[in-house]
Amino acid sequence: MTIYFSSKNIPELANLSIKERQEVIAKAQQKFTAPEKLILNLLKLIMLVPPFLFLARQEWTNLAAATVIMLLVHYFINKPLQYLICRKYIK
């Protein structure tokens, strides 16, 4: 199983422009099943809740740390998982 960190690394999309890749990925995302959408949305929710809690409490150092962790989770877990699921629906 190959992990894709960018849409241009997906073999089916390698020769397309960035705008075309975004359109193909958007069409593939519309074909996601309910469990796939649920998994991605729960991951996003888990990722976004801590920074907002620290922001509400005005804990700035924890907010900074949570934001860095959120960005790392987004780029190293959420996006590759999204591309992995999208690849099933790309013709």
Residue by residue, what is the 3-state secondary structure of 59-85?
A: CHHHHHHHHHHHHHHHHHHHHHHHHHH
What is the pTM assigned to this prediction?
Answer: 0.84
Question: pLDDT by residue for the chain (91 residues), tens digit each?
Answer: 789 999 888 989 889 999 999 999 999 999 999 999 999 999 999 999 999 999 999 999 999 999 999 999 999 999 999 999 999 998 7
Q: What are the domain boundaries of the chain?
A: 17-89
**Structure tokens of 38?**
């649920």
Read off the amino acid at residue 10: I
What is the pLDDT at residue 89? 92
